[in-house]
Amino acid sequence: MRVLVYSDDAGTREKVRLAIGRRPAADVPLVEIVECATQPAVIKHLDSGDIDVAVLDGEAQPAGGMGVSRQAKDEVHNCPPILLLIARRDDRWLANWSRADAVVAQPIDPVVFAEAVADLMRRRLSLTRAH
């Protein structure tokens, strides 16, 4: 499955990539990571239909992951599940506004993060089987 990771910070993208690993859970497929550092690249990849799960950095600049998530949910046909990485737990209300499917606060706990990604992968698999 293809997992898109969006952040303007290469260090954040690396932390996410390491937390996901090759397979975030035993019952999900191997992961291919697609990294993006800009909002136009994210939308282009999501529009292609080749992304199964997206991980968006809420603190990315100049386009934050929350706004990108809301745009994707409004504009991308069959938008994949989105996990939003937030800096503060108090940002959860904004994450709700963004229509993200899951939210994880920083600093990244690799076990919690991997399970959240695996849950979204399972959701995507069940949706593709239903169609």
Query: What CATH number has the domain bearing residue 79?
Result: 3.40.50.2300
Here the contacts of 67-76 (C-beta below 8 Å, separation 24 or greater) are 67/98, 68/6, 68/39, 68/42, 68/43, 69/98, 69/99, 69/100, 70/97, 70/98, 70/99, 71/39, 71/43, 72/42, 72/43, 72/46, 73/98, 73/99, 75/43, 76/43, 76/46, 76/47
Q: What is the pLDDT of residue 131?
A: 61
Total of domains in the chain: 1
What pLDDT digit, counting tens, does each position of 75-110 carry? 999 999 999 999 887 777 777 889 999 999 999 999
Mean pLDDT per 10-residue section of the chain, whose length is 131 residues: 98 97 97 98 96 97 96 95 89 83 94 97 86 61
Domain span including residue 73: 2-130
pLDDT for res 119: 98
